[in-house]
Chain A
Amino acid sequence: MVKINGKELDITGKTLADYLAATDYDPKRIAVERNGEIVPRNQYSKTVLADGDRIEIVSFVGGG
């Protein structure tokens, strides 16, 4: 199981890019942390989600 923003999901083995493509996240508006480390934006398609991973996705909204 992979924990994304506190929610356990059965997506072990998928890439981060695969997961994101199935969601409403806009890859241009997010930052992704994996087990406490930033995932570089050019690594989303190479990052394979492993059992026990803790992912935090921060999605930015406009305004400032």
Chain B
Amino acid sequence: MTRALEERQGVKLQEKFASAVAAVCGLGGLGSNIALSLARAGIGKLILIDFDQVDVSNLHRQQYKASQVGAYKTEALTACLKEIAPYIELETHTVRMTEANTVALLKDADVICEAFDNAECKAMLVNIVLEQMPSKYLVAASGMAGIDSANLIQTRKVMERFYLCGDEVSEVSEAESLLSSRVMLCAAHQAHMVLRILAGEFES
């Protein structure tokens, strides 16, 4: 498998991906898609964090199957990832992230993906990482609801080690729900930025 990845992505890039640890905080529409992309790219280790179980209402945008409804997302995603990338190292935490446990959960990560659904949780995680873990790279997301243009989803470098993906305005509401395609676009932006960071390619 390593040789197959090296042939497609190049030996140098593959070595960087294989030695990297990425954390995915929240395993919903964003996180499940980010994790699959990173696993396919040959990331060495993923830290997967989510307290929740797969619900039937998740299936329209999250990478789970009907047969996995009721399972913890950490366990369901582990099963998916192991089918795609059997040699990936996975560290799972079935807990809710809080001010108290965040730093300990993320200490081994090179790059951290914020992939929560709730705006206050997003802000909490981003503030904690930027305040208390200044050496980490952080890729967060905001604004991917609704049926607006795919081309409005973008990646923006906010600070030296903080990147934000999304259109930054489209919020989930009664009028605007989440569509799999647009959430996947945002997740792909996040996963791609993680790979670019690991490759030493930083946005200006």
A residues whose Cβ falls under 8 Å from a Cβ of B: 26, 28-31, 33, 36, 38, 40-41, 56, 58-64
B52, chain A: closest CB distance, angstroms: 12
Tell me the nearest residue of chain B to A61, going by C-beta: B171
Contacts of B140 in A (CB 8 A): 60
In the bound complex, what is the Cα–Cα distance between A64 and B16 (angstroms)?
Answer: 28
Q: Is the C-beta of B19 less than 8 angstroms from some C-beta in chain A?
A: no
Which of B116, B119, B169, B171 has most A Cβ within 10 Å? B119
Question: What are 10 A-B contacts defined by CB distance under 8 Å?
Answer: A29-B119, A30-B123, A38-B130, A38-B131, A60-B122, A60-B126, A60-B140, A61-B169, A63-B171, A64-B115
Q: How many residues of B contact A (CB 8 A)?
A: 34
CB-CB under 8 A for A64 and B183, given A33-B158, A58-B158: yes
CB-CB under 8 A for A41 and B127, given A56-B158, A60-B142, A64-B31: yes
Question: Is A38's CB under 8 angstroms from B127's CB?
Answer: yes
In the bound complex, what is the Cα–Cα distance between A31 and B160 (angstroms)?
Answer: 14
Question: Is A61's CB under 8 angstroms from B130's CB?
Answer: no
Q: Is the C-beta of B1 less than 8 angstroms from some C-beta in chain A?
A: no
In the bound complex, what is the Cα–Cα distance between A14 and B131 (angstroms)?
Answer: 23
Tell me the nearest residue of chain B to A31, going by C-beta: B126
- 7 closest cross-chain pairs (CB), A and B: A61-B171, A38-B130, A64-B117, A63-B172, A60-B122, A60-B119, A63-B145
